[in-house]
Amino acid sequence: MTIAEQEIKRFENHNCAEDGVFYQAMEEVIYSIAPLLESDKKYTKYAIMKRLVVPDRIIKFKVTWLDDNNNIQVNTGYRVQFNNALGPYKGGLRFHPTVNEGVLKFLGFEQILKNSLTGLPIGGAKGGSDFDPKGKSDFEVMKFCSAFMTELHKYIGPRMDVPAGDIGVGGREIAYLFGVYKKITSTYEGVLTGKPFFFGGSLMRPEATGYGAVYFTESMLEIEQKEPLDGKICVVSGAGNVATHAIEKLLQIGAIPVTCSDSSGTIYDSRGIDVELLKDIKLNKRQSLTEYAKRHPEAKYIPVSEYPENGHAVWDIPCYAAFPCATQNELTELDAQNLIQNGCVSVTEGANMPSTPQAIALLQSHNVCFAPAKAANAGGVVVSEFEMSQNASMSRWSFEKVDEKLKDTMQKICKRVALTAKDYGVEGNYVDGANIAGFKKVADAMIAEGI
C-alpha cells in the first residue's frame, strides 16, 4: 500500500455522512502530495497528514433570535479552528441553509493550504450558520448577527482568530457582527475583516477575490503561452461578491463576460454583462436575476428547471475561459465535457471547490489550463491580511497600493504553483503544484513547532 493509500484508509474509519465534501477535499490533497510523502519520509515520521486532517477545535453553538413577528428562531452556529501553525486562525463565515460541520471542515481545510500559499502569516479556519439571510429584513439579519456574535466573541480576537465574509456574509453582516463584538468586549480592534471602509475596512476588499482570480488567470495563460483574455468570450457563474467583481475586472481588461447565474437561473447576454445593473440587482437590492432580463429583454434567462440534471447552463455556452464563482461542485463532468467540446482553453475556480474531481480530471486530460480555488481565489484572504496589517498599524492604504500588492501577490502565487509542479514532475498541473506548495509550508512549520 502506498503512503497516500494508507492516509486515505485511516480517514475512511472516521468518515460520517456530512463529511462527503471534506473527504473530497482531503483526498485530492493526499493524492497530490503523494510524491512529496514518498520522497521525504519526515512528513510521515511526524504524522503530519494524520494531524492536519483533524481541526484543532470545532466550536458549535445555539443561536436564538427573535424574528419580525416576535417568533423565536433557533439556528446552529459554528467555528472550525483548523490550524494555526503559520499565524492566527483566518477564514470566512458562511450563512446558508446548507451549512453543516462537514461543509465547514472542507472549507477550513482548504483555507489552511490557501492561506499558506499566500506567503502571509495566517492560519486556517471557517465558520458560519445554517441561517438563511434570503428574504429576511435588515433588522432580522441584525438580530441574528447579534445573537451569533454573543457566543462567537469568546473564541476570536485579532491575534487569535479573525473571521471574514463568505456566502451570505458581506459588508452588511460584517458591520453588524463588528458592532456587537465592540459592544460586548469594549474594544475597537481588527477582529473581523471585510469591514466597510469608513470604519476600518481595507479599500478593495470587496473586489479582491474576483479581481484576484482574473489576475491569476492572466498570469497562468502567460506562463502556459496561451492567448490573453483581451477580446475573448468568458463565462462566469454566480452573481454574488466574487462573480460580480470577476465580471467587472474582465470587462476592464477588454474581455467579454457573457453570463452570470444565481440559485434560480442563468443570464446569457451576448453583448457582455451589464455589471452596474448586476451589482444593483444582486448586491444592493438582493433580487433575482429575472430582474436583469426585465431590464435587458435581449438577454436570455435560462431557469434552473430548464436544464438537465447534473449539468448547468453556464458551462454550455461557448467560451475561451470559464470562471465558476458560485459554490461547491457546480461544475460537473458533463459540464466539463461541454466546455471541452466548445473549445474552452482555461478554467479558473473563483468559488471554493466548484469543480467535481471527475470534471477536473477530464479538463486536465484535455489540456485545459486549470486554476484551482486555493490558489486562484486567494485574493480575498490576501486583502483581508492587508486589512489586518492596516488595522494593527492604524494606517490606511490607497486603492492603487492595495491593487498593486494584490496583483503582485497573485502573480507570485501563480509562479510558485507552476514552479512547484515542475519541480515535482507534474508540469502544468496547478492542482498538484498548489497542494504541494501549500502543504509543505504548513507541514514544515508543524514539524518545527513540535506536537
Q: Which of 126, 195, 249, 374 is catalytic?
A: 126
384 lies in the binding site for ligand 2IT (CB under 6 A): yes
Nearest 5°: the CA angle 306, 310, 314 is 60
Instruction: Compute the distance between CA of residue 140 and CA of residue 85 in angstroms, rounded to an integer.
Output: 37
Interface with ligand 2IT, residue 391, by CB under 6 A: no
Residue 91 in contact with ligand 2IT, rule: CB under 6 A: yes
Q: Parallel, antiparallel, or unpaired for β 72-83 and 57-66? A: antiparallel
Active site residue 45: no
The residues that bridge with 236 in the sheet, in sequence order, are: 323
Question: Are the beta carbons of 431 and 28 closer than 8 angstroms?
Answer: yes
**Phi then psi for 304, rounded to 5 degrees?**
-55, -40
- Smallest distance, Å, CB 381 to ligand 2IT? 4
Q: If binding is defined by CB under 6 A, does position 166 make contact with ligand NDP?
A: yes
User: What are the φ/ψ torsions at residue 436 (nearest 5 degrees)?
Assistant: -65, -50
Contacts of 189 (CB under 8 A, 6+ apart): 157, 158, 391
Task: Name, in order, each residue with C-beta under 8 angstroms of 234's C-beta and a sequence gap of 6 or more.
Answer: 250, 255, 256, 257, 258, 319, 320, 321, 322, 323
Q: Using CB distances below 5 to 8 A depending on partner kind, what does residue 293 bind out of ligand NDP, ligand 2IT, none?
A: none
Instruction: Rule CB under 6 A: choose which of 103, 239, 273, 317 binds ligand NDP.
Output: 239
Q: What are the φ/ψ torsions at residue 58 (nearest 5 degrees)?
A: -120, 120
Q: Does 92 bind ligand 2IT (CB under 6 A)?
A: yes
Cβ closest to ligand 2IT, residue 129 vs residue 338:
129
> Using CB under 6 A, which of 30, 33, 90, 322 touches ligand 2IT?
90
Sequence-distant (≥ 6) Cβ neighbours of residue 390 within 8 angstroms:
190, 202, 396, 397
Q: Which of 83, 118, 193, 348 binds ligand 2IT (CB under 6 A)?
A: 193
- Does the footprint of ligand NDP cover residue 124 (CB under 6 A)? no
Q: By CB under 6 A, tell whether 85 contacts ligand NDP.
A: no
194-223 binders of ligand NDP (CB under 6 A)? 209
123's enclosing H/E stretch is: none
Which does residue 351 bind out of ligand 2IT, ligand NDP, none, counting CB within 5 to 8 angstroms by kind?
ligand NDP
Find the residue with minimal CB distance to ligand NDP: 240
- Nearest approach in angstroms of CB 68 to ligand NDP is 21
Site size for ligand 2IT (CB under 6 A): 12
What is the rounded distance in angstroms from the CA atom of residue 35 to the CA atom of residue 17?
30
Report residue 328 as a C-alpha cell. 461547491
Q: Does 168 bind ligand NDP (CB under 6 A)?
A: yes
- Binding site partner of 167, from ligand NDP, ligand 2IT, none, Cβ cut-off 5-8 A by kind: ligand NDP
Residue 166 sits in the site that holds ligand 2IT (CB under 6 A): yes
* CA trace torsion 223, 362, 26, 105 (10° rounding): 90
Residue type at position 166: D
Are the beta carbons of 312 and 323 closer than 8 angstroms? Answer: no
Choose the contact partner of 201 out of ligand NDP, ligand 2IT, none; CB within 5 to 8 A by kind.
none
Phi, psi of 315 (to 5 degrees): -85, 5
Closest to ligand NDP by CB, 37 vs 243, is 243
Helices (H) and strands (E) in the chain, counts: 17, 13
| Closest CB 440 distance from ligand 2IT, rounded Å | 20
90 contact choice in ligand NDP, ligand 2IT, none (CB below 5 to 8 Å, kind-dependent): ligand 2IT
Q: Of these, 302, 381, 434, 442, which contacts ligand 2IT (CB under 6 A)?
A: 381
Of 165 and 433, the one with the shorter C-beta distance to ligand 2IT is 165
- Considering beta carbons, is residue 48 or 267 the nearer one to ligand NDP? 267
CB of 172 to ligand 2IT, least distance (A): 16
Min dist. Cβ of residue 85 to ligand 2IT (A): 17
Buried-exposed string 164-191: b where 16+ CB fall within 10 A, e elsewhere:
bbbbbbbbbbbbbbbebbbeeeeeebbb
Residues 317-346 that bind ligand NDP (CB under 6 A): 325-327
Q: Which of 324, 319, 357, 314 is nearest to 340 (CA)?
A: 319
- Strand (E) or helix (H) holding 353: none
Out of 262, 269, 385, 432, point to the residue binding ligand NDP (CB under 6 A): 262
Residues in contact with ligand 2IT by the rule CB under 6 A: 90-92, 111, 114, 164, 166, 193, 352, 380-381, 384
Question: By the criterion CB under 6 A, which residues form the site for ligand NDP?
Answer: 165-168, 170, 209, 238-243, 262-264, 325-327, 350-352, 377, 380
Q: Would you name the residues annotated as active-site residues? A: 126
